[in-house]
Amino acid sequence: MRRWISERHTLKVLIEPRGVVVGVTMKRYSILFFLTRAFLGVRRVRTADRVVARAGYSAPATLALIRELYPTGVPPPPDAAGSPPDG
């Protein structure tokens, strides 16, 4: 399966046959823009959760992992869930 991944600076792009994910990474949160058959929209995730990498760089798997990590749709504050504070 062909994929194109760019992870430079604060803008990250994943293009694969099942969708496109464009991420804008900030210190604590990332804003992910999705274009897939199942979903067209935006999700905010904690940067420390590394959801795209944990999902194997797959757009549909990333959406499934976000649903699993954030069942209420809102990521917890960075200090919650035992993550170290950003310094």
pLDDT in tens, 10-59: 888 999 999 999 999 888 899 999 999 989 999 999 988 899 999 999 99
Q: What phi and psi values does residue 86 have, to the nearest 5 degrees?
A: -75, 140
Is residue 33 in a domain? yes
Please, are residues 21 and 32 in contact by the beta-carbon 8 Å criterion?
yes
Is residue 42 in a domain? yes
pLDDT value, residue 87 = 42
Distances (CA, A) of 82 to 32, 36, 44, 51, 68: 23, 32, 19, 17, 17
Is residue 85 in a domain? no
The domain of 57 spans 4-69
Is residue 82 in a domain? no
The number of folded domains in the chain is: 1
Residues 51-74, mean pLDDT to the nearest whole number: 91
Using DSSP, state whether 79 is helix, strand or coil: coil
Is residue 76 in a domain? no
pTM: 0.77
User: In sequence order, which residues have a C-beta less than 8 Å from that of residue 57 and are 6 or more positions away?
Assistant: 3, 5, 14, 16
